[in-house]
Structure 1
């Protein structure tokens, strides 16, 4: 009996349910791409889609929570790296039951919180006798009901995934229900706030998704403060109302579609023709290809998985030492996060530009930044980090690569032409936006549509009906994991910024203990380096900027420069022991002990650390370069 219950995938009902989820995701994603295109194309003809901003708000809402539901189904929610070490531990199974039970409890509380928001919106609409409607007469509140519905289903799936046997699932359900009932006793939460917060944090270490832990902390703090729990869900609307937020799924779609094609092969051919003739040309090639691929996919994990075997094999065939090949592929895969259309840049801009006075202190200056400014300011710093890694490969390659091909203009022109579709994506995003004719979201929609048309109808790497829907579903999983994390972060950030006045408290401490901008930047680098080594980049991007940005303003750090420092440090954090994400992924991908990765990555750590120091203390290479375009 337990075997049957613990294998829902064999049920036709579950398969039918999953097909419905997938179908909704494909439809919502397609609409998210098409609507901005209609608006942008119609603008020269004085045509505007009525209610466009409302439609996009609801589409992003569905992408967030339907995608979060799919991410739960696929076990793709962002978790702390420490959870991976518990999987094979004897205590791993019962600890997972505890973690998933707590995560389910938080989701149930959030479901009630979001239902209160939906109910309030419905009552407000009815009180003014004008219920807002979407196409086909669908009322706003009905579309917004995806929030509580998805959160309840996510909670159920967490319970199901807690343990393969029914007894473990019952225990997880009991933990979830017990935790949920605490919402009725805020006086207990106020009395035991720090103990309850510790339990939530421990659950994250044990494997509960980061979004659940952040939402749980927000709920606890608001309840202890006497604020209705619906305040957490209300912050979701602030996130969704951001004019830049739809660019996240659109640019993610670009990267995920390209990752499913032969784009990597065409990029390898291009870089081989461009730099293959250099001493160490293959090592330079690997750095270049990995940087470009990470730019498209938004994270180095995809690069290691998709390109790691190919890049490692090329280095070995060129007689590079095995240790160098491992270290070079691992380090190269962390490059590219500062180049357009990199997703972390958009996320940083959205997070740091939200909240009261856009993270400023009172009536002081704003820490808000535009994604396009970060893209431009990040070009030279990103190039510096890529050149440092490529340069080290070139130095080593002079002693290794005895046989080199001659430079051939015809080969380069042919390879450039073959890779023109992939190489033109960043140009489209920045070029369209810089023209002033379209918004960032519309530029991202053009890029997504361009990639779909090219890969389906020109290169024919993806079949329109057999493969593209699956790619959009997998993209939705990633988008859902990121957006639901951002939604939870907005609730926690709002409490830290407004209710707890955390930036003011930290600023007071910094002013008493840090006496200069130089020392503040040094302490910031140390903090980011440590945190970047133990938490995933998206988690770091939503946790830290809302707290640090207002303080940095008071020390005279330019908001754009701060963003580049953040991203450069997190890029380095991928490689920092003990559990830098790239080290763990390379260990799994190449079946090597992680301690060996610690050794082979050391030269790159020092080189990239030096480049981060240059980026930090020579702001002219970021904001100075940006000023040329203002």
Structure 2
């Protein structure tokens, strides 16, 4: 175990990429201790990516890239500005609401920070906000991406923990709302303290238009239900309601109805059993293509080619990490590392609550140093058996793990969101760090609530019958 874990940490300290560090340390362990034939090791690495749920990864990445390039990001920002721009700290509130909507399409914190975050930071600077305030709010709101469905980290966790990805998606809704309320409350407090005002005049007409867009989206399932009651099949009812919605949007040219429909289609489709989470990712791509090519006509052949290559590049890097992490995680199990850690923790305490405190501390640190996908692949076989021994629900533990790793992306020294936002805002990493640190307070409060009140995570999947 010393060669495996020690070699990995040593390579990381030397600056070797995470995936390469795991692959080299795993190979060294196999060669020194002869724990398995080379062919078995190769088979384990291939098996790590030979998974149906992992098909969701490239499709969600492609959907996020399409949404960014199709001009949907700007429409989401305009919608959020109409909805909450008149409040105290207006653009700060817009930043958070925009991230909530965008998270229903991207599923990753980095896509949120680099996508809609670019627009939000520029707008806040233009309206006289300190750049540190813009960076801090954008970083905190970016953590919502993988908590609200869909979520790439949930796909990886569900595959590793062998639990329902759909249940994980539903479990993220209420925690996401809790985080949104805490962040908006924090912006309000900062606005009163620093004298931030509204950034747009209160316009009842624009507010009513934004409210109408929300009402239209939430009336969609009601329209489907009424059509089913009228005698149509469920599939025909959905198609008819969707066609009516497209016609209405085309006539009145709403700013964000079609974008708001993305999470409705994904969540509704999975809840009704029309498609699996993997198929939901494909549905997101089809919807994104419809918006970009037909509704908004903002995508060109050249843009599609660039989007495709960007998606291939990102997917290759993610799957390479998963491949290397799978053999590393398997060797951790073979070397009894999970049992050693389990015995150590159970020897320290028999309290579930203290274990959760220790696990949170570990995951916060790991999330700062490791890529999220690699961290999940390594931590699940180590920590999930202990959580199950304490009687925890694996869905609840998945929420805790993903939120910890998202917060880890924000804090120094190696949080990836730090580097993305410092580049977007054109400030030093040190200034970005100072801007983000105060926002760890509401995030840690949210983490404590989600950790120690399991009902926050489990109430919706239990209500929908996804878990007992």
> For this structure pair, what is the TM-score category when the shorter chain's length is used for normalisation?
0.7 to 0.9
- Indicate the residue corresponding to 1:245 in structure 2: 54
Deviation at 1:387, TM superposition (A): 2.1
- Indicate the residue corresponding to 1:378 in structure 2: 172
After TM superposition, list the pairs within 5 Å mapping 1:105-184 onto structure 2.
none
Per-residue CA deviation, residues 70-119 of structure 1 (Å, 9 max, x unaligned), is: xxxxxxxxxxxxxxxxxxxxxxxxxxxxxxxxxxxxxxxxxxxxxxxxxx
SS at match of 1:541: helix
After TM superposition, list the pairs within 5 Å mapping 1:62-461 onto structure 2.
198=6, 201-226=9-34, 227-353=36-162, 369-398=163-192, 399-401=195-197, 404-408=201-205, 409-412=207-210, 417-461=254-298
Deviation at 1:241, TM superposition (A): 4.2
* Correspondent of 1:582 among 409, 413, 417: 417
Per-residue CA deviation, residues 436-457 of structure 1 (Å, 9 max, x unaligned), is: 2333322322221221122122
Higher relative contact order (Cα pairs below 8 Å, separated by 6+ residues): 2
C-alpha distance 295-546 of structure 1, shift in aligned 2 (>3 A): farther
Deviation at 1:197, TM superposition (A): 6.9
Identify unmatched segments of 5+ residues in structure 2. 215-253
Deviation at 1:198, TM superposition (A): 5.0
Find out whether 1:474 has 2:294 as its counterpart: no
Deviation at 1:470, TM superposition (A): 2.1
SS at match of 1:418: coil
Deviation at 1:469, TM superposition (A): 2.3
C-alpha distance 450-589 of structure 1, shift in aligned 2 (>3 A): closer
* Correspondent of 2:384 among 543, 546, 549: 549
SS at match of 2:53: coil
Deviation at 1:211, TM superposition (A): 1.9
Is contact 2:422–2:432 with CA below 8 Å preserved after alignment?
yes
Deviation at 1:343, TM superposition (A): 1.3
- Indicate the residue corresponding to 1:132 in structure 2: none
Per-residue CA deviation, residues 354-391 of structure 1 (Å, 9 max, x unaligned), is: xxxxxxxxxxxxxxx11111111111112212222222
C-alpha distance 493-283 of structure 1, shift in aligned 2 (>3 A): same
- Indicate the residue corresponding to 2:372 in structure 1: 537
Find out whether 1:493 has 2:291 as its counterpart: no
> Structure 2 length normalisation: TM-score?
0.83
- Indicate the residue corresponding to 1:592 in structure 2: 427
Identify unmatched segments of 5+ residues in structure 1. 1-192, 354-368
Taking the aligned partners of 2:133 and 2:123, their CA distance within structure 1 comes to 12
Deviation at 1:296, TM superposition (A): 2.9
Taking the aligned partners of 2:275 and 2:190, their CA distance within structure 1 comes to 46
C-alpha distance 402-341 of structure 1, shift in aligned 2 (>3 A): closer
Deviation at 1:329, TM superposition (A): 2.3
> Structure 1 length normalisation: TM-score?
0.63
Is contact 1:239–1:245 with CA below 8 Å preserved after alignment?
no
Taking the aligned partners of 1:195 and 1:283, their CA distance within structure 2 comes to 48
C-alpha distance 253-526 of structure 1, shift in aligned 2 (>3 A): same
* Correspondent of 2:350 among 505, 508, 515: 515
Taking the aligned partners of 1:202 and 1:296, their CA distance within structure 2 comes to 38
Which deviates the most, 246-255 or 585-594?
A: 585-594
Taking the aligned partners of 1:481 and 1:608, their CA distance within structure 2 comes to 28
Is contact 2:166–2:276 with CA below 8 Å preserved after alignment?
no
Taking the aligned partners of 1:598 and 1:438, their CA distance within structure 2 comes to 41
C-alpha distance 625-438 of structure 1, shift in aligned 2 (>3 A): closer
Taking the aligned partners of 1:337 and 1:585, their CA distance within structure 2 comes to 17
Which deviates the most, 526-535 or 561-570?
A: 526-535
Larger CA Rg, structure 1 vs 2: 1
